[in-house]
Structure 1
Amino acid sequence: MQTETILYIIIAGILALLLALFQYIKGRQKVSKLNLIFSFLRFVTLFSVFLLLINPKFEQLTLTTEKPNLVIAVDNSSSIKHLKQDENALNVFDRLSQNKELSTKFNISKYTFGEQLNSFDSIGFSEKQTNISDAFSQLSEVYKDTNTATILISDGNQTYGNDYEFITSKFKSPIYPIILGDTVTHTDLKIQQLNVNKYAYLKNRFPIETIISYNGNNPVNSRFVVTQGNTTVYSQTINFTKNNNSKTINFTLPANRVGVRSFKATIIPIENEKNIINNSKNFAVEVIDQKTKIAIVSNFPHPDLGALKKSIESNEHRSVVFLNSNEIISQIDDFQLIIINQPNNNFKDLFDAIDKENKNRFIIVGTKTDLNFVNRTNENFNLEITNQTEDYQAELNLNYSPFIVDDIDFESFPPLKSNFGAVEFSIPFETILNKKLGNVSTNQPLLVSFEANNRREAILFGENIWQWRAQSFINTKSFNAFDNFIGKLVQYLASNKRRNRLNVEYESFYNGNTNVIIKAQFFDKNYAFDTRETLNIIVKDRNSDEEKTFPLILKNNAYQVDLSSLPPSEYNFTVKATNENISKSGSFQILEYNIEQQFLNANVVKLNQLAMNSGGASYFVDDSNNLINNLLSNNRYASIQKSHKNIIPLVDWKYLLIIIALSLALEWFLRKYNGLI
């Protein structure tokens, strides 16, 4: 408190005392006890009021103790159970999380991880995939710039994701791996990788690449065999030595029938081989009769064109050809869909041709589009021409009905450059994405689709969609989400199939290590998405004839069910609406493959390197007590005492007002009681 303020308080006290004495003492020959009480109460009142007027400020010092963090992350993948380390993992986890000395020194947080990081709830060692890198990426966001020690209880075997050995460039805290699994090297033959396209074309041969590895010291001979049912379709003898321990086999197989063709690749086990699960791998190919051909027509280069080609051709069922507005006319019958980029007067003959052939089309309207030409060449919509542009972000219309659109976090995508002005449609249309300006929805369409004259058409009112594909990769570390969105749009536009009230989305086959998700949409008689219907799916195993019924859960703009619990087999299914006699049937196959069962040992080398890179140390299960002692004795993890100084003005102290009220009330009561009022 400043000296000047203290001086004001002293003066206020003297002045309050003088005023109180002047009122109740001055001029009285005899001073009674009652007058002294009145003087005291009046002094308290006046002095309190003067203090409020001066409003002195006081310093409040608060001391807090901040403990370091201890993160315990447990590998919840099925490889832990496969290596028979589930009991060891639980024991060491309980030993660490229930240690009273660690709880006293650290703030302990518990997590599990497999495909993704989760707060600790329960451990079942049932996750089908392991992504250690992603777990550390998420932990680095939570514990950024904090004093943290991280204990990783894992076998170190990762099935997908970035190499976690180098995660220390982002994760700055020491890591202490507790290694689960056998470190003894066993002789083993393994199908390391099998590469095959998802689709093949009828009466062609499709290529297969198989990488086989050998872990051992002695020369061995084996045979690589590919079977389809009980028929061997390919075989080859293979020799391995300690130094020549990897082989790549390339071969082709014929595609003779349309449909899903299932195969099994096997490397014949050698004597005393411990793990023979990783000697086999199932794979499948869907044989199709022809490709869907799509033309992208543009008279100038643009990065949007390359992004669309990449997205469309991510599905091998489709092919894309770049043409200009003149080249396309003579080949127009070869394509099921024509994508027209920013048309102008030079596209007149093309529009006449596709109108004549009634071809499906996807038009991109951008800053170089001749809007007058677009308005003249169609009868379905009219664009307001302002000669101005604006940057618009996308907002998903959850009520879009022609096909299922997943929210791929459109609102995080960069804005598209679009012409400023309203668009009016003369026919019914469906909005996929709306324009959004900052946080304000404009209710103007950014991407729409409609059906007219027995053809399907879509219009994108913006350019630079290539940035969306890049942002999607930044968000998810994969192009799949954006490519699937474009793929669904292209699939819808390239087909003229009659619209159904019940649509089901599924794959022909699923690998054993992926989630089996089936989605459906149900519409009322006006083709508006109906959220009141109850959908069930009846799944029948072709081999055992066993039937199971599952409900479909409503999620956003679709119903969906997760059938990942089904064992590998071939299945027929029927999705039925409960309230109406509408159903849709299909079939799919789940291939037998568990990537978590491909490992024999813990990845000791990589876990040791991770610990060394982060400044930590690695331990085996039996050494967990040494880890506890190390953490307790390490001065790096000392608690920090922090002081917080707050400046509090007296006017914030509400009790002073209570004192004023009480002193005035008591003075009035005593005066009244003694007949002085």
Structure 2
Amino acid sequence: MSSSDSINFNKNQTNIDKALSDLSEVYKKSTSPIVLISDGNQTFGNDYEFNASSYNQPVYPIILGDTTVFSDLKIHQLNVNKYAFLKNKFPVETIVVYNGNTPVSSQFTVKRGGTILFSETIKFTKTNNSKVLNFTLPANRVGIAKYTASLSALENEKNKINNTKNFGVEVINQKTKIAIISDFSHPDLGVLKKSIESNEQRTVSFFNPKTILKQINDFQLVIIYQPNNKFKDLYNYINKENKNNFVVIGPKTDLKFLNSVSENYQYEITKQEENYQGSLSLNYAPFIVDDIDFESFPPLLSNYGNIKFAIPYQILLKKKIGNVSVNNPLLATTEHNGRREAFLLGENIWQWRLHSYLNTKSFNQFDDFINSLVQYLASNKKRSRLNIEFESFYQGNSNVEIKAQYFDKNYELDTRSELIIKVIDVISKEEQTFPLTLKNNNFTIDLSFLKPSKYSFTISPKGENIVRSGDFEILEYYVEQQFLNANTIKLKQLANNSNGNSYFVAESEAIINDLLNDNRFSIIQKSNKNSLPLVDWKYLLFLIALSLATEWFLRKYNGLI
């Protein structure tokens, strides 16, 4: 929600639920009816029809758009994984919908370039008006594969744009395999697996310290959860093979054992426990980290004391007790002799994922954070002063956002520099240059205004001979043009569920009279009346007593009494 002195309609998506929720939050202590002027077609966000009771305000929709129903075919939804693996087949699920009264048939096809990869004839009737198609497509070449799904149009169909959807899949030739090793069960284990496998490029397997040794070479990263002396053989192998690892240290960790198997760090042993919250370190250099409001997360249960490193290390999250942030690591990483390690000094990270969902209504932010850490640990690429983050392709209805972090020669975050991005349209050869904006300690730019095409780009700090480059593709998809009619059913239901009323645009003047005559919205004037005496009786009583005492004293002094 934003304020403005003018209105335009140039955005790519519509989230009616967010607008209504924000207004309800602003006016939650007053009765303030909401007038919604819309065609009712929402493209993302929670369903506003079923969230009406949470708005706490009556909603009065004014329905815009064409309400005449025409025969129409459309691809309602297309579900596909973002990644596929070379020489495998990946699944595609498509939901196609028909809106009309007479029986019709249409040909559904999926093409890559000019080649038809899948085709099926679909028949619809007034009652049997939707179909779910499930099929697989081959992944034969590494890189971004672009596909077009389409339904052949009806003879007099008005909106043919929603008959077509473009989608893309990035074909990769390997999958990162990660092992989680623990000798007891804990909710943290399931959360780590869930977060890591939210990225289709990664798989997670569970082992105990003994069984992992037989197949440890199959994994690019091992996560060691609260080790004890049962992990001795595993640590001997890790130290011998110089293997990357991620260690979670908590109250159940045998610190004496941990100190005995490493020369790079020592943990202070106090036999006491403490709850620590996390605070993001702004100077963390190895990879880009977004602040997902770590300071609002519940504290982790940890051993009281500090870890001391004998090698260079980077603090990602600092310990925080109450409102006091201390410069001791809660989450730190090291990079020494070609080996990367991470240390999380606390258990119950499962609570962080749940709290992140409460904050954002999504697990994505927390999962992205864990996957950034895993990506860094599973790779041995040399650390760079300029880090960039972007996607290989973007849907036409999503934000095209590119992020960067730049560090000085001491690997401290340099927010004073100016970063420039040069974007080249690979097809038209058009070049454009833009500055990146500093936001939440990251340099960012939103390129959503670019037309669908293939692009290459370079990012460099002004005055420095450091350059990072990449390629991405924006797939063509105009979500707002997928709708032909106003969604009168949902808008009317919204009005009913929120104790409001709906109007068509020709009846818009009636809403003014209805709102003025509705007793729920009558202006109520409140006044407080405080009555105060002209003279406070306590002071008056004191004055009378003083006068009488003075008179008695004077009479006594003059011998009149």
Q: Is residue 435–residue 443 contact of structure 1 (8 Å, CA) maintained in 2?
A: yes
Question: Which residue is equivalent to 1:239?
Answer: 123
Question: Which residue is equivalent to 2:159?
Answer: 275
Percent identity (aligned): 64
Question: Which residue is equivalent to 1:252?
Answer: 136
Query: What is the one-letter code of the residue matched to 1:264?
Result: T
Question: Which residue is equivalent to 2:546?
Answer: none
Per-residue Cα deviation, 1:4-29 (whole angstroms, up to 9, x for no partner): xxxxxxxxxxxxxxxxxxxxxxxxxx
Question: Which residue is equivalent to 2:94?
Answer: 210
Of structures 1 and 2, the one scoring higher in RCO (CA 8 A, sep 6+) is 1
CA RMSD of superposed structures (Å):
1.7
- CA shift for structure 1 position 175: 1.3
Q: Is residue 396–residue 407 contact of structure 1 (8 Å, CA) maintained in 2?
A: yes
Question: Which residue is equivalent to 1:461?
Answer: 345
- CA shift for structure 1 position 631: 1.3
Matches within 5 A, 1:334-373: 334-373=218-257
Per-residue Cα deviation, 1:530-575 (whole angstroms, up to 9, x for no partner): 2233221111111111111111122233211111110011111111
Question: How far apart in 1 are the matches of 2:451 and 2:399?
Answer: 12
- Kindly indicate whether residue 264 of structure 2 is the aligned counterpart of residue 376 of structure 1: no
Per-residue Cα deviation, 1:178-205 (whole angstroms, up to 9, x for no partner): 1111111111010011111111111111
Question: Which residue is equivalent to 1:122?
Answer: 6
Match of 1:414 among 281, 298, 309: 298
Matches within 5 A, 1:498-537: 498-537=382-421
Matches within 5 A, 1:301-450: 301-450=185-334
Match of 1:289 among 173, 176, 182: 173
Q: Secondary structure at the match of 1:641?
A: coil
Q: Secondary structure at the match of 2:398?
A: coil
Query: What is the one-letter code of the residue matched to 1:331?
Result: Q
Question: How far apart in 2 are the matches of 1:373 and 1:326?
Answer: 17
Per-residue Cα deviation, 1:374-410 (whole angstroms, up to 9, x for no partner): 1111112221111111111111111111100001111
Q: Secondary structure at the match of 2:9?
A: coil
User: Cα–Cα, structure 1 residues 121 and 456, in superposed 2: closer, same or farther, change >3 Å?
Assistant: farther
Question: How far apart in 2 are the matches of 1:649 and 1:380?
Answer: 80
Question: Which residue is equivalent to 1:87?
Answer: none
The answer for unaligned runs of 5 or more in structure 1 is 1-116, 652-677
User: Cα–Cα, structure 1 residues 377 and 122, in superposed 2: closer, same or farther, change >3 Å?
Assistant: farther
- CA shift for structure 1 position 171: 2.2
Question: How far apart in 2 are the matches of 1:623 and 1:528?
Answer: 61
Question: How far apart in 1 are the matches of 2:137 and 2:533?
Answer: 85
Q: Is residue 159–residue 596 contact of structure 1 (8 Å, CA) maintained in 2?
A: yes
Q: Is residue 332–residue 354 contact of structure 1 (8 Å, CA) maintained in 2?
A: no
Question: How far apart in 2 are the matches of 1:327 and 1:546?
Answer: 56
User: Cα–Cα, structure 1 residues 557 and 637, in superposed 2: closer, same or farther, change >3 Å?
Assistant: closer
User: Cα–Cα, structure 1 residues 151 and 254, in superposed 2: closer, same or farther, change >3 Å?
Assistant: same
- CA shift for structure 1 position 529: 2.6
Question: How far apart in 2 are the matches of 1:614 and 1:196?
Answer: 36
Report the count of equivalent residues: 536
- CA shift for structure 1 position 647: 8.3
Q: Is residue 365–residue 463 contact of structure 1 (8 Å, CA) maintained in 2?
A: yes
TM-score, normalisation: structure 1 = 0.77
Question: Which residue is equivalent to 1:20?
Answer: none
Question: How far apart in 2 are the matches of 1:636 and 1:529?
Answer: 55
Matches within 5 A, 1:162-177: 162-177=46-61
Matches within 5 A, 1:4-15: none
User: Cα–Cα, structure 1 residues 645 and 526, in superposed 2: closer, same or farther, change >3 Å?
Assistant: same
Which one has the bigger helix percentage?
1
Q: Is residue 319–residue 328 contact of structure 2 (8 Å, CA) maintained in 1?
A: yes
Query: What is the one-letter code of the residue matched to 2:407?
Result: F
Per-residue Cα deviation, 1:275-301 (whole angstroms, up to 9, x for no partner): 111111110111101100000001001
Question: Which residue is equivalent to 1:52?
Answer: none
TM-score, normalisation: structure 2 = 0.93
Question: How far apart in 1 are the matches of 2:463 and 2:530?
Answer: 65
Query: What is the one-letter code of the residue matched to 1:413?
Result: F
The answer for unaligned runs of 5 or more in structure 2 is 536-561
- Kindly indicate whether residue 130 of structure 2 is the aligned counterpart of residue 227 of structure 1: no
- CA shift for structure 1 position 246: 1.1
Q: Is residue 572–residue 586 contact of structure 1 (8 Å, CA) maintained in 2?
A: yes
Question: How far apart in 1 are the matches of 2:313 and 2:534?
Answer: 65
Question: Which structure: larger Rg?
Answer: 1
Question: How far apart in 2 are the matches of 1:556 and 1:145?
Answer: 32
Per-residue Cα deviation, 1:79-109 (whole angstroms, up to 9, x for no partner): xxxxxxxxxxxxxxxxxxxxxxxxxxxxxxx
- Kindly indicate whether residue 457 of structure 2 is the aligned counterpart of residue 597 of structure 1: no
